[in-house]
Amino acid sequence: MSFFFHYIVPFIVALGILILVHELGHYLVARWCGVKVLRFSVGFGRPLLRYQGKGETEWVLAAFPLGGYVKMFGESEDEGEIEEHESCRAFSRQPVGRRFAIVAAGPIFNLLLAVVLYWGLFVGGSDELRPLIAPAEAQSSLARDAGVEEGDLVLSVDGNEVRSWQDLRWALLRHAVDRSEALLQVRTRSGSDAVRRLDLRNFSLDDIGKEDPVFRMGLQPAPAPALIKQVEPDSAAAKAGMMAGDEIVAIDGQAKNQIHEVVETVRATPGQTRMLTVRRGGEERVLSVVVGEKKNVDGAAAGFIGVAFDTSALFAEVSYGPLDALPRAVRLTWETSLLTLKSIGQMILGKISLKNISGPITIADFAGKSAQHGTSAFIRFLALISISLGILNLLPIPVLDGGHLLYYAAEFIKGSALSSRVMELGQRIGIALLFMLMAFAIYNDINRLIS
């Protein structure tokens, strides 16, 4: 049941919002153009809920949630002959420019949704991980070659301001796709400014789903000392005599003084007794702690001792005014769209592995994980998927919106509609491509789960 609420529900909510906005774009522009809309459906297949008031549109929630559609009058030849007095409301009788606008509205609304979501995030503000970096433990990496040192604070990448780890990650991903060098302007722990030249010209984005590419570059957030901010009453830590202000420096005699080290050790040893060395007032004390036990989302046992760590030095609130936020939201949506198109192009050229294609299982996984990290993370996920959906639908593949736009562009140039045989052939090719793409995406999903 917890799996259902933590993963399936966020996935359905995200998918429902994206489909609703996409189809709403088709619907609103169709009505604006005077076209009669017969059905607005979120989902395919058998209708679960229907509603039709005094209007001419039937509103439907269908069983299969991976999509939706807007059925317009005169859209299909199967509807038979259109009476003359209703011809002005038939989709097929509209000028090619109006048909183009109606079809393009769905993907465009997805991109506009991303702008609105990013704008809301920027205005509302959020606590973001500061771009404090350190080289990964590997002896050789791109970060070490660039001279990255622990505690470097990234100020900008190629002159563009960086205010959070998310900003830094995004800038580096763009360079990775472009296969170019990234110039990191940093402030060192000593307070001096320096430039780190990260060479990503030969960096591979293969199998991006298994490991964060920024980690593979040899970069990670700078570690935080395990300084205790709060101790829960009656917890394992409280019973052992731990206090707020204590700093954990070792476990069982082994040096472990960073938050992630302590958390990983404690989580892996539920029910066991550990000897924690803490520094208090300049003195070190050894405390015996019986690690508590609780269940994770997946039902597995995990250890905990009931302390909260002080992470104030690692986070900063990032926010912008309403006017400043809008161009930033537009630029981020534009840059994400370009990155998506470049990535697709690199896949076609064989420069990026097809293993990076993800299907519904991976999307559901990310939906659940982002929802568990809070509202801001889920909204970022929603904006990213909305952009991906918009760009995917604009691709010139028959069956997709982009395929129809290709037909209308050809009709505009040719001066007449394409023959039904050409369009039928295109539909078959498009359906075959989509089935292949979906099969490959699901295969990648299953392979990631297994590995």
Q: Is 23 a catalytic residue?
A: yes
Read off the tokens for 233. 């009453």
Read off the tokens for 337. 């769209």
Q: Is the pLDDT of residue 443 over 80?
A: no
pLDDT in tens, 40-68: 999 888 888 998 877 789 999 988 877 88
Confidence of residue 9 (pLDDT cuts 50, 70, 90): confident
What distances in angstroms separate CA 90 from CA 21, 96, 161, one per listed residue?
23, 13, 51
Averaged pLDDT for residues 23-47: 91
- Domains defined for the chain, CATH in brackets: 126-221+314-318 (2.30.42.10), 228-310 (2.30.42.10)
Name residues whose C-beta falls within 8 Å of residue 205's C-beta, 6 or more positions apart in sequence: 176, 177, 213, 343, 346, 352, 353, 356
In this predicted structure, what is the pLDDT of residue 21? Answer: 95
Q: Looking at 23, 77, 181, 261, which residue is catalytic? A: 23
In this predicted structure, what is the pLDDT of residue 386? Answer: 94
pLDDT in tens, 116-131: 999 999 999 888 888 9
In this predicted structure, what is the pLDDT of residue 79? Answer: 59
Q: Is the pLDDT of residue 383 over 90?
A: yes
Residue pair 219/132 in contact (Cβ under 8 Å)? The answer is no
The pLDDT mean for the chain works out to 86
Averaged pLDDT for residues 206-213: 66
In this predicted structure, what is the pLDDT of residue 277? Answer: 92
The pTM assigned to this predicted structure is 0.79
Q: Is the pLDDT of residue 170 over 70?
A: yes
Exposed, middle or buried by CB within 10 Å (0-12, 13-18, 19+), for 78?
Answer: exposed
In this predicted structure, what is the pLDDT of residue 155? Answer: 93
Of the candidate ranges 48-52, 75-79, 275-279, 433-437, the one whose mean pLDDT is the lowest: 75-79
In this predicted structure, what is the pLDDT of residue 299? Answer: 66
pLDDT in tens, 256-313: 888 888 998 999 888 899 999 999 988 999 999 999 888 776 667 888 899 999 888 7
Q: Is the pLDDT of residue 352 over 80?
A: no
In this predicted structure, what is the pLDDT of residue 3? Answer: 65
Averaged pLDDT for residues 404-410: 89
Residue pair 197/160 in contact (Cβ under 8 Å)? The answer is no
Q: Is the pLDDT of residue 1 over 60?
A: no
Give the whole-number percent of the chain exceeding pLDDT 70: 94
Higher pLDDT, 1 or 253: 253
